[in-house]
Structure 1
Amino acid sequence: MAKYSQEFKLKVVEHYLSGHGDSVTGQIFNVHRSDVQKWSKAFKLYGMAGLELRRSKTTFTVEFKYQVVKAICEEGASLRETMQRFHIKETSTLRDWLKKYKENGIDGLKPKARGRPKSMLKPKITRAQYTQADQDKTHEELLEELAYLRAEVAFLKKRRALIQKQKEQEKVEQQRLQDSYLN
Structure 2
Amino acid sequence: MAKYSRELKIFIANCYLSGESSCFLAEKYSIASKQIRYWAKVVALHGDNAFVPTPHLRSATARFEALKLMSTNSWSLSHTSAVLNLISSGILFVWLERYNKQGFSGLEYRQRGKLPMKPPHTISSRSDDEKSLEELKEKITYLRAENAVLKKLEELKQLNRQQAKKKR
AA at the equivalent of 1:33? A
Residue 129 of structure 2 is matched in structure 1 by: none
Counting only pairs closer than 5 Å after superposition, residues 1-183 of structure 1 correspond to structure 2 as 6-28=6-28, 30-34=29-33, 35-50=35-50, 58=55, 60-73=58-71, 75-78=72-75, 79-112=77-110, 115=115
**Offset, 1:93:** 1.3
Q: 1:76 to 1:61 in 2, by over 3 A?
A: same
Residue 129 of structure 1 is matched in structure 2 by: none
Q: 1:24 to 1:65 in 2, by over 3 A?
A: same
AA at the equivalent of 1:19? G
The root-mean-square deviation of aligned C-alpha atoms, in Å, is: 3.4
Output the CA distance in 2 between the equivalents of 1:88 and 1:6.
Answer: 12
Length-normalised TM-score, structure 2: 0.51
Which stretches in structure 1 are left out of the alignment for 5+ residues? 120-183
Contact 2:12 2:36 in 1 (8 A): yes
Residue 127 of structure 2 is matched in structure 1 by: none
Length-normalised TM-score, structure 1: 0.47
Contact 2:51 2:85 in 1 (8 A): no
Aligned length: 114
Q: Percent of counterpart pairs with the same letter?
A: 25
User: Which of these two proteins has the greater Rg computed from alpha carbons?
Assistant: 2
